[in-house]
């Protein structure tokens, strides 16, 4: 009985398994990068929303400056910011739960860059961020 050529199927199987592993690693890394990018965009959008207050409505109470945010102001500023990014990112919510904090939720759809020919998967990813306006810069240097 000849064993000639019996190694070829095993090598071919190993190469196929390695290929699947590489595709999985690349796709999962791309998903992590997409999630990080969406979170960064949500953080920036929340900052934009937090800075959307009307300076004429700010009140000085003796020790600090108090500003009031409205849902409409936050939504308008964040919607403009998201529309400028034009990366397939959709605004889910933009509001102020306490008139001081801007809370933003964004959604995006991710599909694998390599595995989508074999597995046409589309995954919805969401990111939520909150921010408050920072009024005046306090310098502790010196």
The answer as to whether 26 is a domain residue is: yes
Is 136 domain-assigned?
A: no
Asked whether residue 3 is assigned to any structural domain, the reply reads: no
**Domain ranges, residue 50:** 12-131
Residue 1 lies in a domain: no
| Residue 137 lies inside a defined structural domain of this protein | no
User: CB-based contacts of 6: which residues, under 8 Å, 6+ apart?
Assistant: none
The model's pTM is 0.79
Digit-by-digit pLDDT tens for the chain (142 residues) are: 566 667 888 888 899 899 888 888 888 899 999 999 999 999 999 999 999 888 777 777 777 777 889 999 999 999 999 998 777 899 999 999 998 899 999 999 998 887 666 667 889 999 999 999 877 655 554 4
Note the pLDDT of residue 136: 60
How far apart CA 58 and CA 84 sit, in angstroms, is 28
**Total residues belonging to the chain:** 142
Cβ contact 65:59 at 8 Å = yes
Provide the domain count of the chain. Answer: 1
Task: Tell me the C-alpha distance between 69 and 101, whole Å.
Answer: 8
């Amino acid at each position: 009985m000849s064993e000639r050529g019996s190694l070829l199927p095993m090598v071919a199987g190993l190469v196929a398994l390695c290929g699947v592993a590489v595709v999985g690693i690349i796709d999962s890394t791309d998903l992590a990068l997409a999630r990080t990018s969406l979170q960064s965009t949500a953080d920036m959008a929340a900052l934009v929303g937090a800075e959307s207050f009307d300076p004429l409505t700010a009140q000085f109470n003796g020790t600090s400056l108090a500003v009031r945010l409205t849902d409409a102001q936050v939504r308008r500023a964040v919607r403009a910011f998201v529309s400028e990014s034009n990366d397939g990112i959709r605004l889910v919510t933009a509001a102020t739960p306490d008139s001081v904090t801007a809370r933003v939720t964004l959604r995006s759809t991710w599909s694998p860059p390599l595995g989508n020919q074999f597995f046409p998967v589309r995954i919805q990813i969401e990111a939520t961020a909150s921010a408050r306006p920072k009024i005046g810069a306090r310098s502790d240097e010196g």
